[in-house]
Structure formats: C-alpha cells, structure tokens
Amino acid sequence: MGSEKAKISAVPTNIITGFLGAGKTSTILHLLKSKPANERWAVLVNEFGEIGIDGSLFQGTHREEDGVFIREVPGGCMCCAAGLPMQIALNQLLTRAKPDRLLIEPTGLGHPIEVLETLSAEHYKDVLSIQKILTLVDARKLADERYTSHKTFNQQIAIADIVVGNKQDLYGEPEKAALQEYVKEHSPNATEVLFAEQGQIDFSILSGPTATRVSPHYHESHGAPSAQEDAEIPQAGFVKAVNQGENYQSVGWRFAPDIVFDQKKLFNFLSGLTVERMKAVFITDEGVLGYNLTPDTLTEIELDDCAESRIEIIAQQLEDEWEAQLMQCQLPNG
C-alpha cells in the first residue's frame, strides 16, 4: 500500500544439473507441469553448443501467458567472462518474469560449482534463495570410465543435495546399489538418492536450503560465447556454428524460417546418428516438431510453434557428411 514496486527478493532457486543425456530437460518439462497455476516460474538454460535448442523446446510447450519464462545462454560455459553472460541473462530474466521460482539448468559439460558461485555473489544475496541442488545421473554410466574419470561428472555429484538416478526403467538393483555407494564416496553432503524415470520427480523435493557451500573461485578457461545464436541468417539459408571442450565437440545449424523439412527423411537421418546427444526443433511438412536423441532413444514431440529450425549435435567426433545429409531433408522451395 503506497510502497514502491515490489522488489524481487528471496526467489527460491534450484540448480538442476547432470551429465549429457541424463534427462535434465525432461525433468524440467515435468516440473513445469507441476507449477501452481497462480505462480510465475523462470528457467535459465545453458547449452554447450553455440545454437540454443532448449529454449525453443520449452517455449514450444510452455508460454509466458501461462507463467513460464525462458532464457538461454548458449555457447559452453555459462560463467565465462567472469560470469557476465550468465549475469546479464539472469538479470533480464528476473526483471521480465518477477518469478516465484527460478530453475537453472547448466550444460551437462559445465562446472556447476561456478554457477553456484555466481548465484551466491553479494549482488544476489537478497534476490535469490538457493534451495536444493539436484543432479541427474543415469546409473549405467558408472560402468564407463569416460564418466567416472570425468571431472565434471564427479563435480556434479559432489555439489548435489539430491542425486536422482534417472531412467531407472533401464537398469536394475545392482546399478542402483552402485550409484548409492558412488554418491556416498563422492558427495560431502548427506546426499539423498532418489530414483525416477523420464525425469518424473515430485515438485516438493525442490524445497529447503542447499547444504552446499562454495569454495574459493575455481574456473577453467573457455572460449567466449559466439555470436551465431543471434547472427542474421545469410542468403544460403542457414548458419553453422561449432564448439569444443571437455573432450567433446558440438556442431549446430540454424535455418531460415521459410525452409520446411520432410519429416520422414529427417526422422531417418536423426535415427541414424550415433552421437552423445542431439537436440533439435524443425518446421516440417507434418508441423513443428522437437527432437531429442540420447544413446538410448530418439523422441519426437509436437510443438505449438518455433521461430526457425535449429539442431545441435554433441559427439566426441564430428562427421563432415552430416551437413549434406541434413540439406537433403529439406523440401524444395515452392
């Protein structure tokens, strides 16, 4: 009454992390379905690749009119350049959304401790209330040394308040027991281990303060974010961008909005990829479709809309022929 505009303060904030393909996007999509109708939620997404896809996937199923606000920071490390890309995106998102809850999804190849350091800075002390940090893990990956020897994989477990053994429908009790033992050894917090499939976790587990405290600033150098995310699409009809780091490479394409793809050819091309991760949104002859590929499965979902077709592939080795194969999936103009 008569006071100045309500300040943004103590916004409940959760970091939802996990290695490539652990199911972070599915989990956030599930949580958004649990959002109370009268609340406004904000989602800040970081992607390893230079061409952001998750924002389009989220916006294709959730709209600002429904109280869901999305912002992306593409191009690898959310915190590079002393956290500036993340801070700018976060400040803009908070101002626009004035959210009742903030969900932050760092890239599967990013260091979540740096994200927590940025969120714990003096500037955000009164603005954000850091709550439970969730780390999603596919328990089968503990049998693969590429994961257990990867610094980021272990840091994601160490920082967690709750580890979610996702995709539990794809493994059994020995894998579950191995994950519980691994968490006990690698997490200093009294971390809870839950199991889920398709990211279906209960909204209530987000509440409560994090037990994780940040240590002195740790940061590895990453390339600065590229401008390909916002670059104007040239006459050729597409923009291509590549990135690399953490022993992985990414390649992505953005296509002019008037380019339409043949859904059957596209599905065949995407099904044939053997990669760590692929995400895409495409304008096709069968409507606007979102795609998500992990080593387990390719999913195709119908979206309400998207501004343009986009695809991002992450692999240990990129293949030159992908671009030509992708172009062959386009319908002829006119």
pLDDT in tens, 245-260: 767 888 989 999 999 9
Q: Which is more confident, 184 or 118?
A: 184
In terms of Cα–Cα distance, which of 47, 62, 50 is closest to 104?
47
Q: Range with the lowest mean pLDDT among 1-5, 15-19, 46-50, 318-322? A: 1-5
Radius of gyration of the chain (CA): 20
Q: Is the pLDDT of residue 218 over 90?
A: no
Structure tokens at 246: 């953490």
pLDDT in tens, 14-60: 999 998 888 888 899 899 988 999 999 999 987 665 555 655 566 55
pLDDT in tens, 101-122: 999 998 777 778 888 888 888 8
Q: What pLDDT score was predicted for residue 39?
A: 94
Q: What pLDDT score was predicted for residue 150?
A: 87
Q: What is the DSSP string of 45-77?
A: EEESSSS--HHHHHHTT--GGGTEEEEEEESS-
Residue 283 near residue 267, CB atoms below 8 Å: no
Highest mean pLDDT among 61-70, 150-159, 163-172, 180-189: 163-172
> Which long-range CB contacts under 8 A does 223-227 form with residues at least 24 apart?
223/75, 223/76, 223/80, 224/75, 224/80, 224/81, 225/50, 225/73, 225/74, 225/75, 225/76, 225/80, 225/81, 225/85, 226/50, 226/74, 226/75
pLDDT, mean of residues 136-154? 91
> Which long-range CB contacts under 8 A does 285-290 form with residues at least 24 apart?
285/260, 285/261, 285/331, 288/60, 289/263, 290/56, 290/57, 290/60
Determine whether 154 is exposed, middle or buried from the number of CB atoms within 10 Å of its CB (0-12, 13-18, 19+): middle
**Quick one: pLDDT band at residue 233, thresholds 50, 70, 90?**
confident
Please give the Cα distance from 288 to 310 (Å, whole number): 11
Please give the Cα distance from 130 to 124 (Å, whole number): 10
Q: Range with the lowest mean pLDDT among 26-35, 137-146, 176-185, 209-218? A: 209-218
pLDDT, mean of residues 286-307? 87
pLDDT, mean of residues 227-245? 76
Q: What does the angle CA 137 – CA 26 – CA 324 come to, to the nearest 5 degrees?
A: 100
Q: What pLDDT score was predicted for residue 6?
A: 62
Residue 245 near residue 109, CB atoms below 8 Å: yes
**CA torsion angle 19 165 138 111 (round to 10):** 10
| Tokens 């990956």, located at residue | 141
**Quick one: pLDDT band at residue 81, thresholds 50, 70, 90?**
very low
| Tokens 């199911």, located at residue | 23
pLDDT, mean of residues 292-308? 85
Please give the Cα distance from 104 to 316 (Å, whole number): 26
Q: 70 - beta bridge partners?
A: 43
**CB neighbours of 85 closer than 8 A, spacing ≥ 6?**
73, 75, 78, 79, 225
Q: Which is more confident, 203 or 73?
A: 203
Q: Range with the lowest mean pLDDT among 155-164, 213-222, 234-243? A: 213-222
Structure tokens at 238: 């597409």
Q: What pLDDT score was predicted for residue 21?
A: 82
pTM above 0.85, yes or no: no
**Quick one: pLDDT band at residue 327, thresholds 50, 70, 90?**
very high
Highest mean pLDDT among 55-64, 226-235, 302-311: 302-311
Average pLDDT, the chain: 84
Q: Is the pLDDT of residue 62 over 80?
A: no
Q: What pLDDT score was predicted for residue 58?
A: 62
